[in-house]
Amino acid sequence: MSLKENMEALKEELSSEEKFFESAIRTERFVKRYQKPLMAAVAASLLAVGGAIGYQSYTTAKIESSNAALNLLLANPADTKAEQTLKNDNPKLYDLWKLSRGIAQNDVTILEGLKNSQAFGVADIASYESAAIKGDTKALENYTKQQGALYKDLALLETAVGEINKGNTKAANEKIALIGENSPLYQVAQSLSHYGVK
């Protein structure tokens, strides 16, 4: 290699080392200038990750505890300790369990207590079941007028049967006519209309 080529290679090497040192100095100045905010950001990130892991562990423990309590209650419904654990750890699952107990026992008191439940569908089903068990046609009538009632068609069918038993065929036909063609109870309603209402 010639002296000129060696000099060029040396210049390139010095130039790249100079650029490296220059960027290192810039980085060092940046870190010194923003040291506290950078440390705060790292600490906040660590706290957020730690909090998320802690919350996930807490949620998992609650779910496992409520599942264990539900299993105990299914085996022994009189277990008050398991009932209290389920009520504290998972109120919506507790309401669902109470609903199943109320329906299985035809217990209107339990069902009436669930009419304000926050669990999806529990208040709706409790209202229907309570009215059906009591044979309260007025309550069933009111239930059919609720927006998005889950058992609306079934309640209409029950009120129609009640009207048939009273001999009021016109009112029964009006109730049956409210059941839509896309309802699973449509065929039953049509059969009732054909054979039951004369």
Query: pLDDT 10s per residue in the chain (198 long)?
Result: 566 676 777 667 667 777 777 777 888 888 788 888 878 888 999 999 999 999 999 999 999 999 999 999 999 999 999 999 999 999 999 999 999 999 999 999 999 999 999 989 999 999 999 999 998 889 998 998 888 889 999 999 999 888 888 888 888 888 888 888 898 988 988 888 777 655
Residue ranges of alpha helices (H) inside the chain are 3-33, 35-75, 80-89, 91-105, 108-113, 122-134, 137-144, 152-166, 169-177, 186-191
Amino acid 1: pLDDT: 55
Amino acid 194: pLDDT: 76
Q: 149: closest CA among 126, 171, 116, 133?
A: 126
Q: How far apart are CA 5 and CA 1, in angstroms?
A: 6
Contact of 70 with 97, CB cutoff 8 Å: yes
Extents of the domains making up the chain = 1-89, 135-197
For tokens 């423990």, the residue is: 61
Amino acid 14: pLDDT: 63
Amino acid 5: pLDDT: 73
Give the three-class secondary structure for 67. Answer: helix
Q: How far apart are CA 10 and CA 187, in angstroms?
A: 94
Amino acid 152: pLDDT: 92
Amino acid 31: pLDDT: 76
